[in-house]
Structures are given as C-alpha cells and as structure tokens.
C-alpha cells in the first residue's frame, strides 16, 4: 500500500484506481507535451511512480513498501518505496514550476514590445486571463473579449481597468455583425481570400472523414483537439 494507505474494497479497489490514474496521467502528459521541461519531467516521474505501484499490485497483489524513516521515538514518516519517492519528486517539480517558471503573459508581452504593449488583445478564456490581457494593452488599445472558457468575467472596474489607459472594451457577438445573407457572404469572402493568399495561415490539427463527424464532435467536446479540425467529404 503506497505510503501505508488503504481503501474500502482492498487491493481490487486500489488496483482499479491505479490503472485509471495511470491512464489519466498519460493523457495529461500528452496534452502538456509542449509545456515547460519542469512540467514534463514532473509528469514523467509521477507516471513512472504510478506505473511502478501498478505493476506491484498486478504481480504481487500489493505494493511492497520498504523504506521507513524514523528518528528515535520523536518522529517517523510513512512507510514508502521508490515509486512513492518518484511521485513525490514529480510533485516537487510542479511546485518549482509554479514558483519560478510560471511567467506572466503581460510581462512577456511588455518585454517583446519594449514596454509599449499591444494595440489589440483577443481574449477567449475569460475570468482567468482577462486582467492579464488588459495589462498587455498600450494606451488607447482595444480589448476584445469573446469567450468564457475559464468562467464568466468578474465585474469590470472601469476607472482602474479601462480609464487608466483610455482603453476600448468590446464583447462582439457574431449575430450583430452578420445580420443578413449579404453581410455573411461578404465576411466569408474576405476570410477565404486572406487564407488563399497566405495572409491567414491555418494549421490543421486533425482531419476526419465526413462519416466520422460524430467522433469529431466527441473529440471536440472532450478537449482532445489541440487545434482546428476539418471534415473531409
């Protein structure tokens, strides 16, 4: 039992949970494969530890813990093994990343623009990034908020967030920009023309056959897609 832990249902419950968590961690590693090396290293160690304990449960029916740190009668730690150590070190790398490598987007933007900021910020995440996107703007810049992926926006402090740099804030809705067929056709023509001449470059993440449209929707809903996907007739 890892760190001397036990659950109702015994080894069967722990084995099932270990298998599920191992697959979850591997999936998370795939999602974060382009992240900072501390994230990838931390996840690798956690996956290795989880897999090591899983192998023990399958082959031996239990996890063999053999390391026990104890200082006389004053202090002692849970009994653990190398796999548990790997998981713990992996978590340490996550903590290190959050303290030393979690870079603020606004600081990076200001560094790239020599402290000037950007003219327009497009924010589709919402609650978690709205303040940071505002901080990236130059005076008289435009903030375009168009999504709530992380949750609804908190109330906007106009004097602090907007007036401080004379910013413009908009929350566009597509229905207000394409109110009839002519406007829709004109907008579509402009977009496809820019794509045709390379002014807008689209990197397709995955292609599906038209018959697999149902699977494409499932992948989209479960966030397996890390970029645009298209259906091929």
75 — phi, psi (to 5°)? Answer: -155, 140
Other Cβ atoms within 10 Å of 79 Cβ, number: 17
Would you name the residues annotated as active-site residues? 65, 84
CB 109 within 8 A of CB 33: no
Question: Which residues neighbour 2 within 8 Å (Cβ) at sequence distance 6 or greater?
Answer: 53, 63, 65, 80, 81, 83, 84, 87
Q: Residues 6 or more apart from 110 whose CB is under 8 A from it?
A: 116, 117, 136
Nearest of 157, 153, 155, 133 to residue 144 by alpha carbon: 133
72 neighbors 21 (Cβ within 8 angstroms):
no
Retrieve residue 100's tokens: 């030393």
Calculate the CA 15 to chain-centre distance.
28
């Amino acid at each position: 039992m890892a760190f001397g832990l036990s659950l109702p249902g015994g080894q069967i419950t722990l084995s099932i949970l270990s298998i599920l968590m191992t697959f979850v961690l591997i999936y998370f590693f795939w999602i974060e494969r382009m992240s900072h090396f501390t994230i990838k290293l931390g996840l690798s160690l956690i996956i290795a530890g989880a897999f090591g304990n899983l192998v023990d449960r399958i082959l031996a029916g239990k996890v063999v813990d053999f390391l026990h740190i104890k200082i006389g009668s004053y202090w002692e730690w849970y009994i653990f093994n190398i796999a548990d150590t790997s998981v713990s070190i992996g978590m340490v790398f996550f903590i290190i990343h959050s303290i030393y490598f979690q870079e603020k987007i606004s600081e990076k933007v200001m560094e790239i623009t020599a402290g000037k900021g950007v003219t327009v910020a497009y924010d589709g995440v919402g609650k978690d990034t709205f303040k940071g996107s505002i901080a990236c703007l130059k005076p008289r810049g435009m903030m375009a908020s168009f999504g709530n992926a992380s949750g609804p926006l908190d109330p906007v402090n106009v004097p602090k967030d907007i007036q401080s740099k004379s910013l413009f804030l908009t929350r566009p809705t597509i229905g207000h920009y394409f109110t009839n067929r002519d406007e829709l056709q004109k907008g579509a023509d402009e977009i496809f023309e820019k794509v045709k001449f390379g002014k807008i470059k689209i990197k397709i993440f995955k292609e599906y056959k038209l018959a697999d449209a149902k699977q494409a929707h499932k992948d989209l809903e479960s966030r397996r897609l890390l970029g645009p996907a298209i259906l091929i007739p």
